[in-house]
Structure 1
Amino acid sequence: MRKVTRIDGNNALQAFKPKVRVAAYCRVSTDSDEQMASLEAQKDHYESYIKTNPDWEFAGIYYDEGISGTKKENRTGLLRLLADCENKKIDFIITKSVSRFARNTTDCIEMVRKLTDLGVFIYFEKENINTQRMEGELVLTILSSLAENESLSIAENSKWSIRRRFQNGTYKISYPPYGYDYVDGKLFINKEQAEIVKRIFSEALDGKGTQIIADGLNSDKIPTKRGSHWTATTIRGILSNEKYTGDVLLQKTYTDENFKRHYNHGEKDQYMIKDHHEAIISHEEFEAAQEILKQRGKEKGVIKGSSKYQKRYPFSGKIKCAECGSNFKRRIHGSGDRKYIAWCCTKHIKDASSCSMKFVREDAIHQAFVVMINKLIFGHKFILRPLLQSLKKTNYSDNITKIQEIETKIKENTERVQVIMGLMAKGYLEPALFNTQKNELLKEAVLLKEQKEAIKRAIDGGMTALVEVEKLLKFTMKAEKQIDKFDCEIFENFIEEIIVFSQEEIGFKMKCGLNLRERLVK
């Protein structure tokens, strides 16, 4: 009888096949006892579920408790999970549902695609979706959109509940301000912090600026409520907070439909509760401090709710450091009769070792600008007129033709997408092939739109330069004589920004596209 020897080669290979490292993600949106019990149950379930599968290796449970799912940035457990996936510690993720994973469509799709690129896939139990199958993305998009709408509905219900509590005066302040503590849901004065609050108001009423007050507190090593350093912004926040008078103004901010927070400038109703708690500052002191803040704002050209230094000085926001790219800040140097205005790199002010650029005097910048403008007035025939003629000769017809060609391709791309969607709806196209073709067409559409915008920007930039050169040439031709001092209006009309190269040299970047350097006279 023939002897047959059995060789278990495949089994031997299977013994060395690595197990799939599986992790689970859980989340509950509130920190109530019921929700915490639910979280513990989810964690126990997933740990047992993963460990009982012989082909899986338990890679951990990641969770967030008492956290809203609308934005991934607020969820430390989820961010830790994503980081471990990037570090190749996880191969597969299990989670309860799309709404537990994300209630924001953009975040959900972005995270799924990122994980897919890393070779990590997700299984959503409730919806029975495995992202390892390509057709799952289309379904996932729909479901995550539904989850986002659910979140919006929940948010609206929550907002309605909060507004009702605003109206009947039962709303609980989420975080007590510096100077107060929470005791049994009520605000009580923290005596040690209250003395600092009184000091801040007293120094402000004595005429000290917010930065000087902050510097004094930091010098005395007095920590903020969160244990960090005091800033001018923190001081302004305290001086503007009506809670120190014992009153509470509710709904100072609001959240829009995209979950972004805004200051309430009248868009929503506000509610004032008088004598809500014990006061630290009198109403008279508080009102006096508001008047001082308002007056300082007027002196500095600060308009509440606008860009802080938008129109404070002609050079505000327009002087850049050539070394580090930071903006320059206006400062007063010297003392007594020897005072002068200087502009300094903000990065150098904070840390001289990170940027070596030194200050430049404002009067030196004025003089350099006068010299530069006078050169253009004197030599406009040799500088500006040839530049204008060159710009006028620029032919944009080729660019316009290219835009028309791209628009035709965009239209064709749209039609092709509609065709494959029709085939998919009728069942003539496999889901995997549909997704592949759709993604390729979407990438092509994005590329075409980017090309079109780039050409349009080039045309717009050329036309803008032409208009600005014409305006500058007209000014220099009409100037009867050279200017003898700095003119703010001329500067605003023709200069986009100033680049500081050193204490001896600066550059003027003009709106017409010219970049002219000038020496600084000390």
Structure 2
Amino acid sequence: MTKAYSYIRFSTPEQAQGDSLRRQTAKAEAWAQQHNLVLDNSLRDLGVSAFHGTNRTTGALKSFLEMVEDGRIQRGSYLIVESLDRLSRETVIDAATRLFALIQAGIIVVTLSDGQEYSSERLRQDWTPLIISLAVMARAHDESRIKSERVGEAWQQKKEKARKEGKPLTPRCPEWLEVRDGTFVERPERVAIVRRVFQETIDGFGRREVVRRLNSEGVPTFRGGKGWHTSSIAKIIQSRAVLGEYQPHTGTHRNRNRKPDGDPIPNYYPPIIDNGIFLRAQGATQGRRQNAAGRKGMSGSHLFQGLAQCAHCAGPMHIINKGKPPKGGIYLACSTNIRNAGCDNNRRWRIDMLEPLLLAAIDMLDQTAFSGQDNDLKQLRAQTEALRTQIADFEKRQRTLIELVEFGDETATARSLELAKHIKRSRKELKAAEDQIAKNAAEPDLAARVAAAATISRQLNETPDIEERRELRTRLREIIRGIVERIECHQRFGATAVFIPRDEFHINNRRSEYNFTFMTREGIPRILLDQNVPDDIIDEWVGPWPF
């Protein structure tokens, strides 16, 4: 029995609340019943535009066309539409091409609004329906084009108001805000969640861990649903809307033509995160990617994660679990050596023995001697002042050149364009310096990190709670990342902590009960973590001591 397919489409989801769906469905059912045809009414593109052919490249119409092409839909089948504009609102030449392709494939297209049937057999005898179809398609495209232009102009005006007045474009806004009386207002309980996500990211918790913590506490999501997901956390961390910034766009994700429309609008939203905190969170996220963060056990990851490397091949040190102590233990081992890939460093280091030595070494740093961060900030501030002065000078010279251009000076045009390049480059450098100042200002100084490491280390020794220990170890690992650059594991000379170079970085010249040896090579502080290493071996490695 011949089959008829009803294709129903409308452009916006809001039309589903009106009469469009019922009307199109009822008309198709009545026509199929009148002509004694089996009706398939599964072809529906609800809320899909036909102006740029989106319904042809995605959704139900695409599936229908593919089934026609590969023969799954038989020749002589019917395609019922309310009007030709349901199939396409593209330009006439494109819309007509789609219609002719269907007809040539043996499909009979029926338009219910005017009772026309477009079939190969009929059109070979009577071509006049083609004139009607071209007129209908031209009208449909013109309507959509005019509407698109009007909507585009209206949106452009809204965007201009947004830039000049900060006026909300629509009631839609970031999940932690809402619009009241034409103004963005914070939602305190959600703002607190966003700030928590940023702080926990800075503290060293990855997206999976942040999600686990939020869900275990039953913290409600912004859009309902069953719990938080890592994608939601990533969107929060990456969103510059937390800084108050809004980036207008043109196009849509569906049409794959979405792109920024002009520069971002600063202070459009109420800022809820400081720029320094935002940059620290981005740095923490990037750092975890580089250090191959992954799933952790209930006790949390070891403190050397991402820091330990082989002193021979510079490869990462991996974990070897040999069971529970005293016979077993968790060891660091050279990844290259484990894989027999060319490194002879077959020595193993017990993590539970190295960790307390590292913490003791950090605790012995002379906190009163650290002033490197202050010096860095002074240099950066001086750099920004110099850049601002330079930009002001460039702009003044450019204004003079523009006046010469107006008087017909041809060389002034080239010089003005060159100055524009210098201004653009200087502004980029200024933005980078200002971001670094904000990040440095938000970063705790070295003395604060050392003090925090000592406090958390003490708390770890006092608490038996597994969940609390997991959290403390995560925070401690992130603090150590801001102090220690790497842990070098040498087959002969042992494990050495190499501290991040800083101005006026000093270490107390004394030994502890762990028998540390303090080393400096090329001005970089090092502390040997292995015990009882003979001084003659150390001297052979790094040379005479400055202490």
TM-score (norm 2): 0.40
TM-score (norm 1): 0.42
- Which structure has the larger Rg? 2
